[in-house]
């Protein structure tokens, strides 16, 4: 399916959801799947009909001492410790859900600067659509709090290929990228798929191998 048609189709579905509180949307998938760009494009596709809000799980990292307490290259450590799931659930998803006051956290930690943020909040309009992108969004701690979810699937080999382009400078070279992905990120994603089965839980599963021509694998709308 051509990308524009897919985005417009999802935007139409989201535009029709009226749960009585902001619509909470997850854009999930492995590292380097194209989640942030997809979420941004989806927000643009929604246009001006409803207020659209954006957050990313990367703004809710745990501090380094928590992230690495099982070892800097531990796959289980990434799965268990990388993100402050309590803050996302209790500071974002529940306030935007049924009976919530619609005041949500914007972030808790700047992982690139290595320091906590001011934990500022904002108030969502009652008819807003909140789109959150990131890994591991369909874990048990979070999955019951989404009105809609998209899982962008790419094979591990494609994840690594993209990471070698995107993350070489971030991690200090090709060898470091390969080590981090093959020992930590890719095994953590395999653990996530095994334990939490996101492809079986997402409303929409999209093969994102070619972002210009995404292919719908599963549509549970």
Residue 49 — very low, low, confident or very high, per pLDDT cuts 50/70/90? confident
56-78 mean pLDDT: 95
Q: If we measure between CA atoms, which residue out of 3, 66, 37, 199 comes closest to residue 134?
A: 37
* Alpha-carbon distances, residue 21 vs 93, 107, 204 (angstroms): 11, 21, 22
Tens of pLDDT, residue by residue over 129-163, are 999 999 999 999 999 999 999 999 999 999 999 99
With a cut of 80, say whether residue 78 has pLDDT above it.
yes
Domain borders along the chain are 3-219
pLDDT of residue 177: 93
pLDDT of residue 39: 98
pLDDT of residue 117: 94
pTM metric for this prediction:
0.96
pLDDT of residue 193: 98
Q: If we measure between CA atoms, which residue out of 10, 63, 57, 7 comes closest to residue 36?
A: 57
pLDDT of residue 179: 96
Q: If we measure between CA atoms, which residue out of 164, 137, 167, 139 comes closest to residue 152?
A: 137
Residue 170 — very low, low, confident or very high, per pLDDT cuts 50/70/90? confident
50-70 mean pLDDT: 95
- Considering the four listed CATH numbers 3.40.640.10, 3.30.300.130, 3.40.50.300, 3.40.50.2300, the one that applies to the domain covering 3-219 is 3.40.50.300
Q: Whole-number mean pLDDT of the chain?
A: 96
Least confident range from 78-82, 168-172, 175-179, 207-211: namely 168-172
pLDDT of residue 112: 82
What distance in Å separates the CA atoms of residue 151 and residue 62, rounded to the nearest whole number? 23
With a cut of 80, say whether residue 1 has pLDDT above it.
no
Residue 111 — very low, low, confident or very high, per pLDDT cuts 50/70/90? confident
* Alpha-carbon distances, residue 147 vs 13, 55, 57, 164, 186 (angstroms): 11, 16, 17, 34, 27
pLDDT of residue 21: 98
56-79 mean pLDDT: 95
Burial-class residue 169 by CB neighbours within 10 Å (0-12, 13-18, 19+).
Answer: exposed
């Amino acid at each position: 399916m051509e990308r524009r048609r897919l985005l417009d189709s999802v935007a139409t579905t989201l535009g029709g959801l009226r749960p009585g509180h902001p619509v909470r949307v997850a854009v999930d998938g492995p590292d380097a799947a194209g989640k942030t760009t997809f979420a941004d494009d989806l927000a643009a596709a929604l246009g001006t009909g409803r207020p659209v809000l954006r957050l990313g799980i990367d703004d809710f990292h745990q501090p380094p001492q928590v992230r690495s307490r099982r070892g800097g290259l531990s796959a289980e450590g990434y799965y268990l410790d990388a993100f402050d799931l309590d803050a996302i659930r209790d500071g974002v998803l529940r306030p935007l859900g049924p009976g919530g006051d619609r005041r949500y956290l914007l972030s808790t930690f700047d992982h690139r600067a290595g320091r906590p943020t001011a934990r500022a909040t904002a108030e969502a309009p009652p008819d807003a659509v909140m789109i959150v992108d990131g890994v591991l969004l369909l874990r048990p701690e979070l999955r019951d709090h989404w009105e809609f979810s998209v899982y962008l699937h790419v094979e591990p080999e494609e994840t690594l290929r993209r990471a070698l382009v995107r993350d070489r400078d971030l991690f200090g070279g090709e060898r470091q990228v390969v080590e981090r992905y093959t020992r930590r990120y890719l095994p953590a994603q395999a653990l996530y798929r095994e334990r939490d089965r996101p492809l079986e839980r997402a409303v929409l599963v999209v093969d994102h191998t070619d972002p210009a021509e995404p292919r719908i694998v599963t549509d549970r709308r």
